[in-house]
Amino acid sequence: MTLDSSRVDAVLVDSYSTLVDVESTRHALEPYTDEPRAVARIWQLRSREYAVVGNAVGVYRPATERHRHALQYALDVHGVDVSAADREEILASYHDLDVYADVRDGLEAVRDAGYSIAILSNGDPTLLESLVETAEIDDLLRATISADAIETYKPAAKLYEYAATRLDVAPEALLHVTASWSDVNGALNAGLQTVWLDRTDRSWEQYARDPDAIIDSLRDLPSLLSSP
């Protein structure tokens, strides 16, 4: 792992599982099932699978639509019967996810160190607007970039390259910070440097390439960037 902080001009940050806890959707499921955590995990996994398959076959659906279909799948797997109105209420939990405690402090310190910050996300613009508002970080961001802009999901290289163009920064001068293994590899493939944010205290998966650095809190990012 060899992060070269001298090359970094701007910082990209993933959204879901990096800034907010997607598993907090389980709270919305609690009135309907005795296994809210299990249903939530299937919901999140299936939604990610829809994104990967969509990229592969050239079919794009906005994140909210993916989440809606994935939620129905997860409910069906566990035999949970809810009305259409209740399903939409559960789906709306994506607009009010739990924010990790280090988000505001960590990003503010990065901004104060002179780096511009942008979110790069597979979420659609409406979801991201809610995330930014809930996390209270709008004043820290140069941009919020959604997969909707080019109808392509991460980890496809095309979306990271689009972000570089939007920010007018060369890919090699961008640092992408994410809690997602696949997102790390997508960014590396597009020529970005990467930091894996280990939010679950687990080992790095030795399948593809390694991140340039690993941290367990966004509060560690400013010192990492200041290291030679």
pLDDT value at residue 1 = 63
End-to-end CA distance of the chain: 14
Please tell me what DSSP assigns to residue 16: B
**By C-alpha distance, which of 51, 19, 44, 199 is closest to 36?**
44
Superfamily of domain 5-19+100-226: HAD superfamily/HAD-like (3.40.50.1000)
For 216, other C-beta atoms within 10 Å of its C-beta total 13
Query: How is the chain split into domains, by residue range?
Result: 5-19+100-226, 22-95
Name 182's Cβ contacts closer than 8 Å, sequence gap at least 6: 154, 155
Tell whether pTM > 0.85.
yes
Q: Could you say which of 1.10.150.240, 1.10.1040.10, 3.30.470.10, 3.40.50.300 is the CATH number of the domain covering 22-95?
A: 1.10.150.240
pLDDT tens across the length of the chain (228 residues): 689 999 999 999 999 999 999 999 999 999 999 999 999 999 999 999 999 999 999 999 999 999 999 999 999 999 999 999 999 999 999 999 999 999 999 999 999 999 999 999 999 999 999 999 999 999 999 999 999 999 999 999 999 999 999 999 999 999 999 999 999 999 999 999 999 999 998 888 878 789 999 999 999 999 999 986
* Amino acid found at 187: A
pLDDT value at residue 184 = 97
Which residues are paired to 11 by β-bridges?
117, 175
pLDDT value at residue 107 = 98
pLDDT value at residue 126 = 97
Whether 99 contacts 135, CB under 8 Å: yes
Whether 224 contacts 5, CB under 8 Å: yes
The answer, yes or no, to whether the previous bond of 228 is cis (omega within 30 of 0) is: no
pLDDT value at residue 227 = 81
